[in-house]
Chain A
Amino acid sequence: MNFADTFKISTPTDREIRIARVFDAPRELIFDAFTRPELLKRWLSGPPGWSFVVCEVDLRVGGAYRFVWRGPDGAEMGMGGIHREIDRPERVVNTQKYDQDWTGGEAEGTLLLFEQDGKTLSTNTVRYLSKEARDGALASGMDQGMIAGYDRLEALLPALQVEGTA
Protein backbone atom coordinates (compact mmCIF):
# COMPACT_ATOMS: atom_id res chain seq x y z
CA MET A 1 0.00 0.00 0.00
CA ASN A 2 1.21 3.47 -0.86
CA PHE A 3 0.63 5.64 2.19
CA ALA A 4 1.06 8.85 0.25
CA ASP A 5 -2.34 8.02 -1.29
CA THR A 6 -3.97 8.52 2.09
CA PHE A 7 -3.20 12.25 2.12
CA LYS A 8 -6.39 14.29 2.32
CA ILE A 9 -7.25 17.95 2.78
CA SER A 10 -10.78 18.89 3.83
CA THR A 11 -12.87 21.67 5.38
CA PRO A 12 -15.03 19.84 8.00
CA THR A 13 -16.74 23.09 9.10
CA ASP A 14 -16.69 26.65 7.81
CA ARG A 15 -14.09 27.55 10.46
CA GLU A 16 -11.85 24.50 10.11
CA ILE A 17 -9.26 23.09 7.77
CA ARG A 18 -7.99 19.53 8.20
CA ILE A 19 -5.01 17.65 6.78
CA ALA A 20 -5.24 13.88 7.29
CA ARG A 21 -2.50 11.35 6.56
CA VAL A 22 -1.80 7.70 7.47
CA PHE A 23 1.74 6.84 8.55
CA ASP A 24 3.23 3.35 8.76
CA ALA A 25 4.49 3.80 12.32
CA PRO A 26 3.26 3.70 15.92
CA ARG A 27 1.88 6.99 17.14
CA GLU A 28 4.57 7.58 19.78
CA LEU A 29 7.08 8.10 16.99
CA ILE A 30 4.81 10.49 15.12
CA PHE A 31 4.07 12.40 18.30
CA ASP A 32 7.82 12.84 18.79
CA ALA A 33 8.37 13.83 15.16
CA PHE A 34 5.78 16.60 15.58
CA THR A 35 7.03 17.85 18.95
CA ARG A 36 10.82 17.41 19.22
CA PRO A 37 12.90 20.13 17.51
CA GLU A 38 15.72 17.78 16.47
CA LEU A 39 13.13 15.63 14.64
CA LEU A 40 11.00 18.52 13.30
CA LYS A 41 14.12 19.93 11.61
CA ARG A 42 14.42 16.70 9.65
CA TRP A 43 11.08 16.92 7.85
CA LEU A 44 9.24 20.26 8.33
CA SER A 45 12.05 22.15 6.65
CA GLY A 46 9.89 23.91 4.09
CA PRO A 47 9.95 24.06 0.30
CA PRO A 48 13.17 23.22 -1.59
CA GLY A 49 15.88 25.74 -0.66
CA TRP A 50 14.29 26.66 2.68
CA SER A 51 15.52 25.61 6.12
CA PHE A 52 14.86 26.20 9.80
CA VAL A 53 16.72 29.05 11.47
CA VAL A 54 14.67 28.84 14.70
CA CYS A 55 12.97 25.66 15.90
CA GLU A 56 12.11 25.79 19.60
CA VAL A 57 9.47 23.76 21.44
CA ASP A 58 8.67 24.02 25.14
CA LEU A 59 6.38 21.01 25.36
CA ARG A 60 4.42 21.92 28.47
CA VAL A 61 0.91 23.30 28.89
CA GLY A 62 1.45 27.06 28.69
CA GLY A 63 4.87 26.52 27.07
CA ALA A 64 5.68 28.29 23.81
CA TYR A 65 6.93 27.07 20.46
CA ARG A 66 8.58 29.15 17.78
CA PHE A 67 9.50 28.33 14.16
CA VAL A 68 11.35 30.56 11.69
CA TRP A 69 12.30 29.42 8.19
CA ARG A 70 14.67 31.16 5.75
CA GLY A 71 14.43 30.92 1.99
CA PRO A 72 17.13 30.98 -0.70
CA ASP A 73 16.71 34.74 -1.24
CA GLY A 74 17.08 35.46 2.50
CA ALA A 75 13.34 35.91 3.09
CA GLU A 76 12.15 34.71 6.49
CA MET A 77 8.83 33.33 7.59
CA GLY A 78 8.00 32.91 11.27
CA MET A 79 5.16 31.50 13.33
CA GLY A 80 4.54 30.29 16.85
CA GLY A 81 2.14 29.96 19.74
CA ILE A 82 1.38 28.40 23.11
CA HIS A 83 0.59 24.78 23.99
CA ARG A 84 -2.88 24.44 25.46
CA GLU A 85 -3.19 20.66 25.86
CA ILE A 86 -0.61 17.91 25.71
CA ASP A 87 -1.63 14.28 25.97
CA ARG A 88 1.20 12.08 24.74
CA PRO A 89 0.95 10.16 22.46
CA GLU A 90 -2.44 11.12 21.07
CA ARG A 91 -3.15 14.81 21.24
CA VAL A 92 -1.62 18.28 21.12
CA VAL A 93 -3.64 21.50 21.09
CA ASN A 94 -1.87 24.81 20.50
CA THR A 95 -2.41 28.36 19.34
CA GLN A 96 -0.93 29.38 15.98
CA LYS A 97 -0.03 32.82 14.80
CA TYR A 98 2.05 33.88 11.81
CA ASP A 99 4.40 36.87 12.11
CA GLN A 100 3.04 38.40 8.92
CA ASP A 101 -0.48 37.72 10.15
CA TRP A 102 -1.44 36.13 6.84
CA THR A 103 -4.19 34.21 8.56
CA GLY A 104 -5.88 37.38 9.78
CA GLY A 105 -5.70 36.32 13.43
CA GLU A 106 -4.76 33.66 15.93
CA ALA A 107 -5.95 30.14 15.18
CA GLU A 108 -6.08 26.93 17.21
CA GLY A 109 -4.40 23.77 15.98
CA THR A 110 -5.23 20.22 17.09
CA LEU A 111 -3.05 17.24 16.28
CA LEU A 112 -4.80 13.90 16.85
CA LEU A 113 -3.11 10.50 16.42
CA PHE A 114 -5.10 7.26 16.18
CA GLU A 115 -3.15 4.02 16.03
CA GLN A 116 -4.40 0.72 14.63
CA ASP A 117 -2.31 -2.38 13.84
CA GLY A 118 0.91 -0.38 14.02
CA LYS A 119 -0.31 2.29 11.58
CA THR A 120 -1.34 5.77 12.63
CA LEU A 121 -3.92 8.17 11.26
CA SER A 122 -2.80 11.72 11.87
CA THR A 123 -5.28 14.59 11.60
CA ASN A 124 -4.07 18.15 11.82
CA THR A 125 -6.99 20.55 12.20
CA VAL A 126 -6.73 24.33 12.25
CA ARG A 127 -9.75 26.13 13.68
CA TYR A 128 -10.04 29.85 13.18
CA LEU A 129 -11.39 31.63 16.22
CA SER A 130 -13.70 33.92 14.33
CA LYS A 131 -15.31 34.18 10.95
CA GLU A 132 -13.16 37.29 10.34
CA ALA A 133 -9.96 35.34 10.97
CA ARG A 134 -11.10 32.55 8.67
CA ASP A 135 -12.06 35.04 5.96
CA GLY A 136 -8.74 36.80 6.46
CA ALA A 137 -6.99 33.49 5.89
CA LEU A 138 -9.06 32.88 2.79
CA ALA A 139 -8.29 36.32 1.42
CA SER A 140 -4.61 36.10 2.27
CA GLY A 141 -3.50 33.88 -0.57
CA MET A 142 -1.01 32.32 1.83
CA ASP A 143 -0.94 29.66 4.52
CA GLN A 144 -3.66 27.20 5.45
CA GLY A 145 -6.43 29.48 4.25
CA MET A 146 -5.39 28.44 0.79
CA ILE A 147 -6.67 24.98 1.47
CA ALA A 148 -10.20 26.16 2.15
CA GLY A 149 -9.93 28.01 -1.12
CA TYR A 150 -8.73 24.81 -2.72
CA ASP A 151 -11.87 22.89 -1.77
CA ARG A 152 -14.00 25.65 -3.20
CA LEU A 153 -11.95 25.92 -6.32
CA GLU A 154 -12.06 22.16 -6.78
CA ALA A 155 -15.87 22.31 -6.64
CA LEU A 156 -15.80 24.92 -9.39
CA LEU A 157 -13.28 23.21 -11.62
CA PRO A 158 -15.56 20.76 -13.47
CA ALA A 159 -17.64 23.71 -14.66
CA LEU A 160 -14.52 25.66 -15.57
CA GLN A 161 -13.03 22.89 -17.70
CA VAL A 162 -15.55 23.75 -20.39
CA GLU A 163 -14.51 27.39 -20.47
CA GLY A 164 -10.81 26.55 -20.27
CA THR A 165 -10.91 24.55 -23.47
CA ALA A 166 -12.91 27.19 -25.38
Chain B
Amino acid sequence: MTPDRLDATFAALADPTRRAILARLASGEASVTELAEPFAMSQPAISKHLKVLERAGLISTGSDAQRRPRRLEAEPLAEANQWLERYRQFWEASYLRLDDLLDELKLAKKAPSRKKRGDPRP
Protein backbone atom coordinates (compact mmCIF):
# COMPACT_ATOMS: atom_id res chain seq x y z
CA MET B 1 0.00 0.00 0.00
CA THR B 2 1.42 3.40 -0.97
CA PRO B 3 1.78 6.18 1.63
CA ASP B 4 -0.51 8.37 -0.51
CA ARG B 5 -3.27 5.82 -0.38
CA LEU B 6 -2.80 5.41 3.39
CA ASP B 7 -2.98 9.19 3.76
CA ALA B 8 -6.23 9.28 1.86
CA THR B 9 -7.67 6.37 3.86
CA PHE B 10 -6.85 7.88 7.24
CA ALA B 11 -7.88 11.39 6.25
CA ALA B 12 -11.19 9.90 5.15
CA LEU B 13 -11.57 8.02 8.45
CA ALA B 14 -10.78 11.11 10.55
CA ASP B 15 -14.33 12.43 10.18
CA PRO B 16 -17.27 11.05 12.24
CA THR B 17 -19.85 11.56 9.47
CA ARG B 18 -17.71 9.61 7.01
CA ARG B 19 -17.22 6.81 9.52
CA ALA B 20 -20.99 6.67 10.03
CA ILE B 21 -21.49 6.50 6.25
CA LEU B 22 -19.02 3.59 6.03
CA ALA B 23 -20.77 1.80 8.89
CA ARG B 24 -24.10 2.28 7.08
CA LEU B 25 -22.67 0.97 3.79
CA ALA B 26 -21.27 -2.06 5.60
CA SER B 27 -24.83 -3.33 5.88
CA GLY B 28 -25.49 -2.87 2.15
CA GLU B 29 -25.39 -0.36 -0.72
CA ALA B 30 -27.42 2.86 -0.51
CA SER B 31 -28.29 5.91 -2.63
CA VAL B 32 -27.22 9.44 -1.70
CA THR B 33 -30.77 10.22 -0.58
CA GLU B 34 -30.82 7.16 1.69
CA LEU B 35 -27.42 8.04 3.07
CA ALA B 36 -28.41 11.67 3.79
CA GLU B 37 -31.53 10.60 5.72
CA PRO B 38 -30.07 9.81 9.16
CA PHE B 39 -27.92 12.96 9.16
CA ALA B 40 -29.11 16.53 9.64
CA MET B 41 -27.22 17.40 6.47
CA SER B 42 -28.02 18.53 2.95
CA GLN B 43 -27.43 16.18 0.02
CA PRO B 44 -24.59 18.40 -1.32
CA ALA B 45 -22.86 18.15 2.09
CA ILE B 46 -23.21 14.36 2.04
CA SER B 47 -22.01 14.27 -1.57
CA LYS B 48 -18.86 16.11 -0.50
CA HIS B 49 -18.15 13.42 2.09
CA LEU B 50 -18.86 10.70 -0.47
CA LYS B 51 -16.34 12.29 -2.85
CA VAL B 52 -13.65 12.09 -0.16
CA LEU B 53 -14.50 8.44 0.50
CA GLU B 54 -14.53 7.64 -3.22
CA ARG B 55 -11.14 9.32 -3.79
CA ALA B 56 -9.75 7.20 -0.96
CA GLY B 57 -11.09 4.12 -2.72
CA LEU B 58 -13.27 3.28 0.28
CA ILE B 59 -16.51 3.34 -1.69
CA SER B 60 -17.59 2.96 -5.32
CA THR B 61 -20.70 3.82 -7.30
CA GLY B 62 -22.92 1.03 -8.62
CA SER B 63 -24.07 0.62 -12.21
CA ASP B 64 -27.74 1.62 -11.65
CA ALA B 65 -27.73 5.02 -13.45
CA GLN B 66 -30.94 6.15 -11.74
CA ARG B 67 -30.11 5.42 -8.09
CA ARG B 68 -26.32 5.58 -8.39
CA PRO B 69 -25.96 3.43 -5.24
CA ARG B 70 -22.75 3.71 -3.25
CA ARG B 71 -21.11 0.56 -1.95
CA LEU B 72 -18.27 -0.18 0.41
CA GLU B 73 -14.86 -1.28 -0.90
CA ALA B 74 -13.38 -3.34 1.92
CA GLU B 75 -9.83 -3.72 0.56
CA PRO B 76 -8.29 -0.31 1.44
CA LEU B 77 -9.59 -0.63 5.00
CA ALA B 78 -8.11 -4.09 5.30
CA GLU B 79 -4.77 -2.74 4.01
CA ALA B 80 -4.86 0.19 6.43
CA ASN B 81 -5.58 -2.21 9.26
CA GLN B 82 -2.60 -4.31 8.24
CA TRP B 83 -0.36 -1.22 8.31
CA LEU B 84 -1.60 -0.34 11.79
CA GLU B 85 -1.04 -3.88 12.94
CA ARG B 86 2.61 -3.58 11.88
CA TYR B 87 2.88 -0.32 13.87
CA ARG B 88 1.47 -2.04 16.92
CA GLN B 89 3.85 -4.92 16.41
CA PHE B 90 6.73 -2.42 16.26
CA TRP B 91 5.94 -1.17 19.78
CA GLU B 92 5.28 -4.64 21.11
CA ALA B 93 8.62 -5.83 19.73
CA SER B 94 10.42 -2.80 21.17
CA TYR B 95 8.91 -3.38 24.61
CA LEU B 96 9.84 -7.07 24.51
CA ARG B 97 13.46 -6.01 23.90
CA LEU B 98 13.08 -3.60 26.81
CA ASP B 99 11.87 -6.50 29.00
CA ASP B 100 15.13 -8.35 28.25
CA LEU B 101 17.20 -5.24 28.97
CA LEU B 102 15.37 -4.70 32.29
CA ASP B 103 16.07 -8.30 33.34
CA GLU B 104 19.73 -7.66 32.64
CA LEU B 105 19.70 -4.38 34.61
CA LYS B 106 18.00 -6.08 37.57
CA LEU B 107 20.73 -8.73 37.66
CA ALA B 108 23.44 -6.07 37.46
CA LYS B 109 21.81 -4.22 40.33
CA LYS B 110 21.76 -7.36 42.49
CA ALA B 111 25.48 -7.99 42.01
CA PRO B 112 26.98 -5.87 44.82
CA SER B 113 30.53 -5.96 43.48
CA ARG B 114 29.65 -4.15 40.28
CA LYS B 115 28.61 -0.70 41.42
CA LYS B 116 27.43 0.42 38.01
CA ARG B 117 23.79 1.15 38.72
CA GLY B 118 22.47 3.89 40.93
CA ASP B 119 24.99 6.49 39.84
CA PRO B 120 23.84 10.06 40.31
CA ARG B 121 22.59 11.73 37.14
CA PRO B 122 25.34 13.32 35.08
Contact = CB atoms under 8 A, between A and B. Distances in A.
Majority SS of interface residues in chain A? helix
B10 interface: yes
A146 B77 contact: no
Contacts of B26: 156, 159-160, 162-163
Interface stretch (A19-27, A74-82, A105-113): A19-27
Nearest to B14: A138
A155 to B, nearest CB: 8
A99 interface: no
A126 to B, nearest CB: 12
Interface residues of B, number: 46
B90 A163 contact: no
Taking residues whose C-beta sits less than 8 angstroms from the other chain, chain A's interface range is: 35 or more
A160 B74 contact: yes
A142 interface: yes
Nearest to B72: A163
Given A9-B91, A145-B10, 15 more contacts: A4-B92, A7-B91, A21-B95, A25-B105, A29-B102, A32-B105, A43-B97, A141-B10, A146-B87, A147-B84, A149-B10, A149-B84, A150-B87, A156-B26, A163-B74
